[in-house]
Amino acid sequence: MAGQSLISKRGSGAGVRLPGALARPIKVFVDAKILNVHDPSLPRRAYVGYIVEQDGRHGAKQVEDTESDDAEVRAILFAIDELKGAARRMTIVCDHESVVSEANRDEVRNPSPPMQLLRDTLARNRKNLELRALQANPAHGVVTAYVNSLEGDRKE
């Protein structure tokens, strides 16, 4: 960090400013979309995505998990994995309240493998990672746009 001062002067006092340590967490919205849920004759396809509130970074991909809860968990894990070096602290916001509740609960009997992975990830990163529930989710649009672009590619 040559040439960069860690001292920040505010008002009449001075203090040490640690890069990123006190920075506000980035807020990341996640979502999952499962196609063909209502037609058992068609194969289900699941997609997950995220969007960072502060700067609009986003990503989406197809996943194997076609059950609603597991797909939402994969969306959370995808965002964490994609953004792990981008910020010291993250608040992940998910509109699937039962997933958030189960992930944040102290004890869960027989969690699915994706949920257990999420619970372990949250436990290891408790100081830097928070998972919250939300009713309306802007990441829904990211996943929908991604799926629509794939549908457009298939029609051409």
Q: Looking at residue 134, what is its pLDDT?
A: 84
Amino acid letter at 30? V
Q: Looking at residue 148, what is its pLDDT?
A: 86
Asked whether the predicted pLDDT for residue 5 surpasses 80, the reply is no
Q: Looking at residue 133, what is its pLDDT?
A: 92
SS (H, E, C) 60-95: EEEECCCCHHHHHHHHHHHHHHHHCCCCCCEEEEEC
Backbone angles phi, psi at 110, to 5 degrees: 50, 55
Section 32-49 average pLDDT: 94
Q: Which CATH class is domain 23-155?
A: alpha beta
Contact 90, 83 (CB under 8 A): yes
**pLDDT tens-place string over residues 51-108:** 999 999 999 999 998 898 999 999 999 999 999 887 789 999 998 989 999 999 988 8
Cα separation, 58 vs 141, in Å, equals 11
Quote the crossing angle between the two packed helices 97-104 and 113-124, to the nearest 10°: 60
